[in-house]
Homo-oligomer: A and B are copies of this chain.
Amino acid sequence: MGAVRRVYVAGVGMTKVDKHTETSLRDLAAEAAFKALDEVGNEKPEAVVVGNMLSSLIEQENLAALIADHIGLRGVCGLKVEGACGSGGVAVLAGYSMIASGLYDRVLVIGVEKLLERPTPDTLRGLAYAADADYELIYGVSFAGLNALIMRYYMSKYDVRREELALWSVIMHQNGAKNPYAQLRNEITLETVLSSPVVADPIRLYDACPLSDGAAAVYITSEDWKKVSDTPILVAGVGNAVDSPDLSSRVSLDEFYASRISAEKALRTAKLDIKDIDVAEIHDAYTITAAVSLESIGFAEKGKAAKLWSEGRFRPGDKPTINPSGGLKSRGHPVGATGVYQVVEVAMQLRGDFPGVSVPSEIGLTQNIGGVGSNVTTIVLRR
C-alpha cells in the first residue's frame, strides 16, 4: 500500500561539491542545512536524519547528534542512515516514513560526506566496505574492479563498444559545466575519456566519478506544514530494494535487480508510469553504471542505453532528460550525500529554479545506488 499521509519537499540546500579541506564535516552539513532552513523561514524541524557512509574514516560516528547540536537543534529526534553510496536516498526514505507515519510534521534530511580528508588509499578501501568483506574484499578486489567486471561482461554480451559508453562522460561534463554546484566543470572530449589512465580495465579514470566532499539538505513536511514553502513539491512515491552485495551470487550481472524493484515500487506508490517522467537524476558512478541503471529503471531496453544516448536521447530537451546536474561524473559523488543532492536538484527542476541546465518539468525521479546495485532507493517527485 502507499503512505497514509502526504509528504512534501519544502526547502532545499546544497554546498558546491568539491575538495572541502578547510571545512569540517559538521560545518559542511551546516552550510547545506542552513540554506534549506532559510527557505522555510527557519521553522524548527522536529527531527534530523543524516545520510552518511564513511565518517568512521575520520573517527566520528553519532552524526545525527553531532550535526543537530551544531546547527542549534539539541533535543530533536536524530538518526543516521546508511546504505553505502545509497545512504542519502535511504535517509530521505526514512525521513519520509517519519512524516507519513504522523510521528513528525517537519524533518530535515541532511546528506554529508568527506572523502578527501584521508589519504586516497584509505578512502578507496573504505568505499570497498560497500562490497562483501568476507567474499570479495578478501581477494583484494577494489570497488572499481567489481564495476569493471560488469562493464566487460556487458560490453561482451550486448556488443557495446567502449567509445559508446565513454560518450556518457562527455555529455555529463557538458551538463555539469553549467551547474555552479558541480565539482568538475570542464567540458571534455571522447579522447579525454579514452586516453585517460586505466583504473580497473576496462574502466578508465574518466569513466569514473571523482572522489568528493559535499553536503545537501531537504526539509520535508506533512500536508499541514507545506505552507512553510511557496513552492512545495510532492514526494509522490518512494521505493527501496536490496540485492546481494556479493556479485558472484547474483542472478544477473547486466541488470540491477534492486534498481528495477525500487523503481517499480516508487512508480506504483506514485501511481505513475516510467513514461511520465520528465527529468531524472540517476546514479552514474561509472559509465557502465549509467547504462545498467537506465535499463534497470526502464528508460531503455537491455543493452540499448548507450545506443540511445549516442543518438541524442536523455540530453537537455529530451523526455526524459537525464542528469541535467552533470550526474555523479561531473557534479561529483560525495557518497552519503549524493542521494540528497539528487532530490534537491530534481525538486529545483520542478520548481523551475535549478541554476544549471534547466528542464521544464512536472514529474521527476531520482535513483541512488549503494554498492554495485545492492541498495537502491528511487524517489518520484511531482510539482
Contact = CB atoms under 8 A, between A and B. Distances in A.
Interface residues of A, number: 77
Interface string A133-152: 11001000000000000000
A204 interface: no
A58 B241 contact: no
Contacts of A80: 81-83
Nearest to A93: B79
Given A83-B79, A240-B77, A242-B78, A374 B4 contact: no
B78 A375 contact: yes
A159 interface: no
A101 B68 contact: no
Interface of A is mostly: mixed
Interface string A205-239: 00000000000000000000000000000000011
Nearest to A269: B103
Given A66-B245, A370-B62, A103 B103 contact: no
A240 B78 contact: yes
Interface stretch (A124-132, A194-202, A296-304): A124-132
A75 B4 contact: no
A60 interface: yes
Given A59-B137, A65-B83, A69-B249, 10 more contacts: A24-B134, A59-B133, A62-B129, A62-B131, A64-B83, A66-B132, A73-B242, A79-B81, A82-B82, A100-B101
Interface of A: 1-5, 24, 26, 47-48, 53-54, 56-66, 68-69, 73-84, 90, 93-94, 96-103, 105, 125-126, 128-134, 137, 238-246, 249, 257-258, 261, 265, 269, 370-371, 374-375
11 contacts: A56-B129, A58-B133, A60-B132, A62-B84, A65-B244, A68-B242, A75-B241, A77-B242, A78-B241, A96-B103, A100-B103
